[in-house]
Structure 1
Amino acid sequence: MASGELQFIQQLRNRAGRPKGAVRLGIGDDCAVLRPPSGHDVLVTTDFSLEGRHFRRDWHPAASAGHRCLARGLSDLAAMGAQPMAAFLSLALPTGFTRRAANRTWLDGFLGGLLHLAKQTKTPLAGGDTSTAPGDAILADIVLLGSVPEGTELRRSKARPGDGLYVTGHLGGASAELAALAKSPRSLRKASPADDHPHLYPQPQLRVGQRLRSLASAAIDISDGLSTDLTHLCEESRVGAIVEADSLPLHQLLTNKKDALQHALHGGEDYQLLFTASATSKVPRSIGGIPITHIGQIVRGKDITLRSNGKTERLEPAGWEHSL
């Protein structure tokens, strides 16, 4: 990393605060020391946030980039019903990045957005790493640890024929907001996480996921798009599904009816939860103020279909694909 690494780490340590919860020893030593709750399993997830692919400095407010970096991993924990234990952030910045005042301001905003969400979700920042990026783009990696009571984690692989198919919240909003951002990159510079900005400030459904441990048979978060993530769930469970198009809970940003279904099915980054539950489960209409919508059924076989206006067609995975 650029000069001032030790000063940066000390500043970050001060902003992160003293270790809390499962973190016995945080930033400052070669390793963090964690103590998971007795009788719990530990879950680990990691996510890259790459400038130019997951965020753009000329589009996204710095706080949004930091918020989204942490939200991606928190949503993975939510999908498995976990309680966050600790986060580890690794940053690679271009050579000489912090020598410019504007870049230092951006970095401060990035960390502010990440730490604000960390505080909201009671996720201690317990460590990480810094380095110099090989090019001109910022690279950020978030590692998250969570815990669940032993053997109670939600998985993608336990959906069964006859289960109902459900989603939390509303769909397509993140995709619609990203499209609006692409048309007018400066239009959302003053957006706040206190408002409904599903792309800039997605809200991981941690509390809902924890509640679903006693309700759901299988679950996944909608990061790559409903069509793609449903395919992942069905492949792991070796089942098929029928999705009712008219039942999809569309986000209020989807004002263009012609494109609404495309955004809801394939847009991605909603970071809502897609889950299944047996026919005998009493799934509530909302959990903690987050609406729950029944959108279809799990069926035998491998086919995933979309039913709309009395017609049925194959639903192909057309969301985000991670190229290698």
Structure 2
Amino acid sequence: MLGIGDDCAVLSLPPGQETLVTTDFSIEGIHFRRDWQSPESIGHRCLARGLSDIAAMGGTPAAAFLSLALPARLSPAWPDRFLEGLLALARTHRVELAGGDTAESPGGVVADIIVVGRVRRGRALLRCGAKPRDLIYVTGDLGESAAVLHLLGSGRIKKRDVFSQPRVAVGEWLVRRGVGTSAIDISDGFSTDLSHLCEESGVGAAIESDKIPIHMEARKLSRNERGGEQASRLSLQLALHGGEDYELLFTASRSKHIPERIAGVKVTRVGEVLRERKMYLVQNGKCAILMPRGWEHFSAAKKSAH
């Protein structure tokens, strides 16, 4: 690989590999707030978004390209700390920052990350492969970022960092073993990303509420809330709809054995794929329609998120 120093980066792929390319914006006031998160956390998150996309396709990341627009009055220490966070995650996944661009922003900080990866030809995990009776799994725990955002938005805390970990090794394992039928990363919220997968596969889903792995931050927040039944449901709502978890949501045939941990990461079966093109939440033996209520791009009602 030929990286920073020339007009273009030069990348080469091993024989039998296909190229994966993803790009993501991180915009101040939409995706993060400098008064709520450290520069290191924001830099980490910027790269994590792209790595998580590569993970969802079962790929191995290779290189990243960062374009960064900064306000003129921004402290010089801020971009240095931003890069520290981004490069720390890059080193963990052996990803080279191979190029990019910088410019002055008339408003807040804007970062665009491009991540390039590779996957064995014809083996990429897609959103469109789920079949009726497949089982639905998620990695890790859900709701941490949503719980922290809830605390920040309510003014109960002033600042808090979240360092979500993209599940690259899990995606690679699914492709290597050939057991995943479809996959997507959970960035817009479990309910919304599940709806994307179901739409692309032409199927529906039944999710068992008591199987959803809820992060301890969301559980703790729910315990501290007052308000009866509504408060008791808060942790589940954060896990279902909060987003910014960067866990993997994937499906596999019920004939395939999926271990409880893959590459050291907890894996939980949360439901099954249906032929009927609707999503249901099964709670206390009763079925209710599960609506996608996560992040909606271009929605004026959305506030800044982690």
Using the size of structure 2 for normalisation, the TM-score is 0.91
Q: Deviations over 1:4-63 (max 9, x none)?
A: xxxxxxxxxxxxxxxxxxxx2111111000011221000000000001111111111010
SS in 1 for 2:237: helix
Confirm whether residue 137 of structure 1 aligns to residue 137 of structure 2: no
How far is the alpha carbon of 1:97 from its aligned partner? Answer: 3.5
Partner of residue 2 from structure 2, selected from 16, 22, 25: 25
Matches within 5 A, 1:295-306: 295-306=270-281
RMSD: 1.2
The answer for the alignment partner of 2:158 in structure 1 is 186
For structure 1, list consecutive stretches of 5 or more residues without a partner in the other structure.
1-23, 192-199
Partner of residue 269 from structure 1, selected from 236, 244, 254: 244
Residues 59 and 185, structure 1, Cα contact 8 Å, conserved in 2: no
Matches within 5 A, 1:233-244: 233-244=197-208
Looking at structure 1, the residues matched to 247 and 214 of structure 2 have their Cα atoms a distance apart, in angstroms, of 12
Residues 68 and 201, structure 1, Cα contact 8 Å, conserved in 2: yes
The answer for the alignment partner of 2:256 in structure 1 is 281
Q: Deviations over 1:45-84 (max 9, x none)?
A: 0000001111111111010010000000100000001100
Partner of residue 71 from structure 1, selected from 32, 41, 48: 48
Confirm whether residue 224 of structure 1 aligns to residue 188 of structure 2: yes
Using the size of structure 1 for normalisation, the TM-score is 0.86
Matches within 5 A, 1:245-256: 245-253=209-217, 254-255=219-220, 256=222
SS in 2 for 1:260: helix
Question: Quick one: structure 1 residues 184 and 115, their matched pair in 2 at CA, closer, same or farther if it must change by over 3 Å?
Answer: farther
For structure 2, list consecutive stretches of 5 or more residues without a partner in the other structure.
223-231, 300-306
The answer for the alignment partner of 2:170 in structure 1 is 208
The answer for the alignment partner of 1:122 in structure 2 is 94
Looking at structure 1, the residues matched to 253 and 16 of structure 2 have their Cα atoms a distance apart, in angstroms, of 27
Residues 36 and 85, structure 1, Cα contact 8 Å, conserved in 2: no
The answer for the alignment partner of 2:59 in structure 1 is 82
Runs of at least 4 residues off by over 4 Å: none
Partner of residue 49 from structure 1, selected from 26, 33, 38: 26
The answer for the alignment partner of 2:133 in structure 1 is 162
The answer for the alignment partner of 2:228 in structure 1 is none
Looking at structure 1, the residues matched to 5 and 196 of structure 2 have their Cα atoms a distance apart, in angstroms, of 39
How much identity, in percent, do the aligned residues show?
A: 52
The answer for the alignment partner of 1:259 in structure 2 is 234
Opposite residue 160 of structure 1, the aligned amino acid is: K
